[in-house]
Structure 1
């Protein structure tokens, strides 16, 4: 038996075992008569099969194009294939957002936006997709890589699961990628590092895990949101290479130090939130170089030592939160002279009550 057939057999066996176990468990907790509905069984099968497809890089759909359909150009034909494949990969669409995804008029599909192609203004192409807050369940098929002119891809607040398709690497014009508040899993989606135009990356509130590649901080991004995942890594020394204006890393499990290279972000950084990450170090003097920062939050970590006097250089800071660390010593008097400071939240080990504000 070939390796692929062996894999298929094992997958089918595991699927059958999973469903049998779920039936038994459901019966047990419901007094013996709590059988799953056909829809629930189908959903579980899809979730299990999705992982199998991800592992073998074969997560595609069978899309046939009706020869009677007419398309203005090849780009829209490719878009039709991509969107029909995606529609097949959707398990639940309670708001019926994709119910009108039929026919060749892809520019009229809900959530799909067309514009003149950047290399040929006489041709329309799919330039953006926005299905935010759709509560849609499903996964992302590899055919989405056919949307090579896509600039915006927004899927905030849905129930998409699985991983980010490898063929996203074909989206060379993608500027904004928002996959936040879904159920994506697996390791950090390295494919985003291959998107040359990407400026806005938002993958917060998912179930990604493992390390975060240091190459992320060398990439020319403006905003990075990777908070509320399961990432575990040590912030690399090249962290300060990032030209971001906003970076939110909170609620993961980091290790190590807050690197001194943070001072290299002085000309671009406006907001940085690293709360609840397990950072263990002193607060580097270089934070005083962050003259453009308005929000600086490193609360709920294990930072030690004193808050440096150099904090006086943060002349635009409005929200400064260093509470719930292991900081000690006196609050630098320069904090009180920060011209735009609105809220300063500090640790009980300072001379004041826990959570007090100045």
Structure 2
């Protein structure tokens, strides 16, 4: 809760062992997060977003096994996300966006069996998307890996995330085709794939394009195209050009 607090978080906070909710968001706290946080074993909600916390995440966080929601977004935290974070089996929301985390594939997420919202956007985490494994394919509703230096191709296995409502993979280094199986996600309302190096023809049904509208973002993929025979002009995604071979044939036809 924003109330003008500043300085470093006192280590004595770790003695509040009966604390269940802690909201320090929107203040001016700086420095490292104290290891003593590991003593808050009954804590269910921790929001430290929008501060100036720096350094690596304390390993003691792995002891917060009652946590349901953890929001550390908009800080200056860095380093690799510890594998021990996989102990947070009850965690439903994890927001680490807008920090400086790195380290590639993070296996700890694979152990978070209750995770519903995973927001990692705007971190130089890296890694190959084909190697990403998620533990809760039915319950996950938000997956935001936008601007996280992801490489590789989009795996068809993403279509197994049946509960997904938002998929953010934009502004990465992804290559290959856009899997048509993405249209099999029954609950998805926004899919952002813009700002990558995706190639080939996008092949989705008219129903999918109509349903998604401008929430299906694929612009800034220079080698991505559509076939004029497979999609109505009004449904062509913004910034996507007609497939080159088809365009050439049309030019010859009208000469």
Deviation (angstroms), 1:190: 2.2
CA contact (8 A) 1:269 1:292 kept: yes
Bigger Cα displacement from structure 2, 176-185 vs 343-352: 343-352
Change (3 A) 1:217 1:312: farther
Q: Does 1:223 align with 2:97?
A: no
Q: Which whole-Å CA distance do the structure 2 matches of 1:170 and 1:233 have between them? A: 27
- Answer 1 or 2: higher relative contact order, Cα 8 Å, separation at least 6: 2
The 5 Å alignment of 1:1-358 reads 132-217=1-86, 219-220=88-89, 221-237=91-107, 239-242=109-112, 243-262=114-133, 264-334=135-205, 336-337=207-208, 341-342=212-213, 343-346=215-218, 347-351=221-225, 355-356=238-239
Q: Which runs of 4+ in 1 moved over 6 A?
A: none
- Structure 1 residue 173: Cα displacement: 0.4
What secondary structure sits across from 2:103 in the alignment? strand
Q: Distance in 1 between matches of 2:175 and 2:74?
A: 28
Shift of 1:313: 2.1
Q: 8 Å contact 2:148–2:172 — kept in the other structure?
A: yes
- How big is the shift at 1:337? 3.0
TM-score by length of 1: 0.59
Q: CA deviation at 1:142?
A: 1.4
- Deviation at residue 336 of structure 1 after TM alignment: 4.4
Report what 1:27 is aligned to: none
CA drift at 1:262: 3.7
How far apart in 2 are the matches of 1:195 and 1:216? 9
Asked if the contact 1:297/1:321 (under 8 Å) is kept, the reply is: yes
Task: Tell which structure's C-alpha radius of gyration is larger.
Answer: 1
Deviations 1:221-271 (A, max 9, x none): 100010111111112356444331111101110222114554643211001
